[in-house]
Amino acid sequence: MRLHGVIPPVCTPLTDDGEVDVASLERLCGFLLDAGVHGLFAGGSTGEIGQLTDSARATVLSTVTRVAAGQVPVLAGVIDTGTQRVIEHARAAGKLGADGIVATAPFYVRTGPAEVAAHYRAIAAAADVPVIAYDIPSNVGYKLPSALIAELAHEGVITALKDSSGDLESFRRVLAATGDIGFPCLTGSETLADLALAAGAHGVVPGLGNVDPHGYLRLYDAARNGQWNAARAEQQRLSGLFTIIEVPDTTRIGPISAALGAFKAALKLRGVIAHAGTAPPLLPLLPAEVDKVAAVMADAGIPGKGRK
């Protein structure tokens, strides 16, 4: 599995009573596939993996794999606090048809490089599908060292990296250390995608890609063809659209509620999903905030049906 291109971390639409909205999730996956994405990542941070029950995780993944139907690789987040819990998720994901699993470092307990290495080796030994390392220190409290990533890559323990650290220097070190083995390195940044691609990234995994997959595909194609002025221009437009996450009042709700609530509000405005609710304890946007999201979308040239 050689991951590349635009692989959105799929949002998880919910019904008003908090269950997975399967019909909306099917429409969202169809919307992304019709745009031409190169893969789908179910159960990432954007998919509210930390708030979903095991049953909801299974519903999300089975829906995404069914809609994808082999057209593109489907990655499954197996994010949890400890190794044995992750292994259980990994085995379940394999049975549900995932082509690869995405795992962070363990969290809640403080760990060091030796423990993190053992964590990934145990997951790889137990899983039936490839393991992708997910570097997101803002959420798990640990930055994967570039030397450790390279070591695990050369051992074949991990088969790709999703880097959401925002540390481009570390990302460049991983690219340099793994270039001889064709190790796919993907950036999770919405706003630094052009710079990461210029540095040699193989693809992008942007949460905002749910809202505007076509924009990230244009950015990726421009970068792949060496059209860097076009790539920078598209990145600038997407960065403007990304300011939807700054609309909510963060004295009322936290930054994750603000970001995921904005993504879902935008998807509802686009007519892709039916409800913009988020999983507890995350809170949705207020009506006035949704109106501001619609205005930002309009400035970025994204159509919306208006708030109802």
Active-site residue numbers? Answer: 134, 162
Non-local CB neighbours of 55 within 8 Å, separated by 6+ positions: none
Compute the C-alpha angle 262/268/274, nearest 5°. 130
Identify which of 202, 194, 200 has the alpha carbon closest to the alpha carbon of residue 222: 194
Q: Are the CB atoms for 33 and 67 separated by under 8 Å?
A: yes
User: Which tokens hold the place of 270?
Assistant: 């686009």
How many Cβ atoms from other residues are within 10 Å of residue 95's Cβ? Answer: 12
Q: Starting from the edge strand earliest in sequence, which strands make up the sheet with 100-103, in order?
A: 5-6, 203-204, 185-187, 160-163, 131-135, 100-103, 74-77, 40-42
64 to each of 37, 54, 78, 176, how far by Cα in Å?
A: 13, 15, 15, 33
Q: Are the CB atoms for 120 and 157 separated by under 8 Å?
A: yes
**Exposed / middle / buried, residue 303 (Cβ in 10 Å: 0-12, 13-18, 19+):** exposed
CA separation for the pair 87, 175 (Å, rounded):
27
CA separation for the pair 205, 6 (Å, rounded):
6
